[in-house]
Amino acid sequence: MMKQHRKLGLVGAVGLGLGLVALTAAAMPATAQTASGSGGLNVSGVAANSAFGIQSNVLASGLTESAVAYGQLPLVNAHGGVTNYGYNTSNGGALTQSPNEAFKTEPDKNVYLVFGGKHYLFQGHEGGPGGYVTRVNLDEPDLTRRVTLIADTRSDGAAVPTFDGITWDPFTHQLLLTAEASAPKGGVFAVLLDANGEAVDRKITTLPALGSGGFEGIQNDSAGNVWLVEDIGGAVVSGGKKPNSYVYRFTPTTPTDLSAGTLEALQVSRQNGTPVTAQELSANPSDQFITDLHTYGSSFSTRWVTLTLGANNGATSAAAAAGATPFKRPENGVFRPGTNFGEFYFTETGDTNKDSALPGAFGGVFKLTQKSPTAGTGTLSPVFVGDVQHTGLDNIQFASKDQLLVVEDAGDALHAQRNALDSGYLLDLKNGDSKNAPSVVRWLAEGRDASATYDHYTNPGYNDGDNEITGIHVSNGDPSTAGVLGAQLPQLSGGAWRSFWTQQHGDNITWELHVASGDGTGQHGDNS
């Protein structure tokens, strides 16, 4: 019966020849909260979807979404088993729900770029036997020619890891991708693009100077530095996880070459001036510092400590040895527009278990404030402290100077515990201060497509049983150094700015988010 359910999903209904469909938010009771902002979103919140059966995505009023790609789309230039946007067929499996199906490759985070008037969306893939990089041609109406394989082999001939994070480095003209795995498998990898957005040699190169670790978030600043946010889980105790992952900054010797430079990790100090170390938090995961860190009104001095990479080029062990401060599964980070790259915001997923007895169990969003992106010291404070209904915070992006989009990856267990699937939230930073939470509006109540629902109820063991929100992205596609995220103020209501997100697992659909503009068209402009 569940195999029949899959045919009711978007992929089964649309097929390759019927085109892409635009889905308008279904009518749902709105919460009392609303959010608005110049150039940002003006929405009323919706209720979360319950964790039961097949559910449709629900968007706040004024928002619609359209599918730009989905897992079954064939690749224009299939190579070996890399044949589809969301599948690797090297095992001979079919694109169906069965124990012998093809490997799902899980397209993850997105990067939108405009080259020569052509509009592209790039992704790394974090599932299957090996990672690869794809490009969706947003201007191509023929679905069989819409997705191209950019790269799936390494320049050194080694195995390609699966990828999670991705960003565009305009200083080196490379896509930078992160492999979220412990050393020596994790780290940062690059694909060089030419002026037309084509991969120069379809090769993936490793960047050892940036270290090896479970990096997920990756972001440039205006000086050409690369900021990294790491998540490698953490040992479980009292239903929660010990802090063991770090925030990094890599300063290249020259911004146009990432082969050499200095790797640093963030160190946070207690109120008495002593640094908070990995050894302390591992010995006592209920340390008062963690409670204080997740308390509105708190503020901590920070400094960057230089790392010396040793065995396996391991960044995580080097950070611990240097006295850097670990967090509870930090995931992604982004600079706030209009701050001259002086404010860096990052998420912390937390324990994804409502029964955790540890402080900071539900994670949050934190702000690192510095005089400049190259400064050696700064201040860290909580912007939003998570709770059981707002937790598992992962991808993050600014929709305007004051509106921050944050999405959940709570996981199957927590979905069941709170009877709610993942959501996307809008934090209005104008309505918060150092001592109070910002207003929070749910702009997306993610559903669960038929494929993921099948996995959830049959527990086949080869795929996650729920959809996941990933790849939330807001950009005008500017590939120059002036287009680094955080350099310009987003303007989603009309104009050249566009927004995308991926509904991972299941049918692996990547959506474009449309915002109603002043004339009600909700259309994006052209940034050619």
pTM over 0.95? The answer is no
The arithmetic mean of pLDDT across residues 248-267, rounded, is 98
145-168 average pLDDT score = 97
* Beta pairing class for 203-206 and 153-154: parallel
Using left for φ > 0, alpha for ψ between -120 and 50, and beta otherwise, residue 508 falls in left
pLDDT digits (tens, 9 = 90+) for 37-81: 555 788 888 999 999 999 999 999 989 999 999 999 999 999 999
DSSP string, 24-81: EPPP--EEEEEE--TTS--EEEEPPPPSSS-B--EE-TTEEEEEEE-TTPEEEEEETT
Sheet holding 215-220, edge to edge: 215-220, 226-230, 247-254, 257-268, 300-306, 377-385, 364-369, 343-348, 330-335
User: Exposed, middle or buried: residue 414 (CB in 10 Å: 0-12, 13-18, 19+)?
Assistant: buried
Residue 434: CB atoms within 10 A of its CB come to: 12
What pLDDT, on the 0 to 100 scale, is given for residue 431?
74
Question: pLDDT band for position 13 (50/70/90)?
Answer: very low
Residue-wise pLDDT for 83-133, tens only, equals 999 999 999 988 877 777 889 899 999 999 999 999 999 999 999 999 999
Q: Residue 316: pLDDT band by 50, 70, 90 thresholds?
A: very high
Q: Where are the domains of the chain?
A: 2-515
pLDDT in tens, 463-484: 778 999 999 999 999 999 999 9
Put the strands of the sheet holding 74-79 in their side by side order: 103-104, 87-88, 82-84, 74-79, 147-151, 133-137, 118-125, 107-115
CA-to-CA distance for 491 and 495, rounded, in angstroms?
A: 7
* Calpha distance 141→19 (Å, rounded): 8
- The 10 Å Cβ neighbour count of residue 195 is 9
Ranges of H-type helices in 379-425: 412-418
Tens digits of residue pLDDT in 27-36: 333 333 555 5
276-301 confidence digits (pLDDT tens): 999 999 999 999 999 999 999 999 99
Report the distance separating Cα 169 and Cα 162, nearest Å.
Answer: 20
The CATH number, out of the four listed (2.40.50.140, 2.60.120.10, 2.120.10.30, 1.10.8.60), of the domain defined by the range 2-515: 2.120.10.30
Strands (E), 116-165: 118-125, 133-137, 147-151, 153-154
At 428-447, the pLDDT tens digits run 998 767 788 899 999 999 99
Q: Give the pair of three-digit tokens for residue 433.
A: 């201060």
Instruction: Tell me what pLDDT residue 33 has.
Output: 52
More confident residue, 2 or 513: 513
Q: How is residue 201 annotated by DSSP?
A: S
How many residues does the structure list for the chain?
528
From CA 194, how far away is CA 68, in angstroms rounded?
24
**H or E element that contains 516:** none
pLDDT at 278: 97
Choose among 352, 435, 413: nearest CA to 388: 352
Q: What is the pLDDT of residue 53?
A: 94
pLDDT number for residue 32: 36
Q: How confident is the model at residue 462 (pLDDT cuts 50, 70, 90)?
A: low
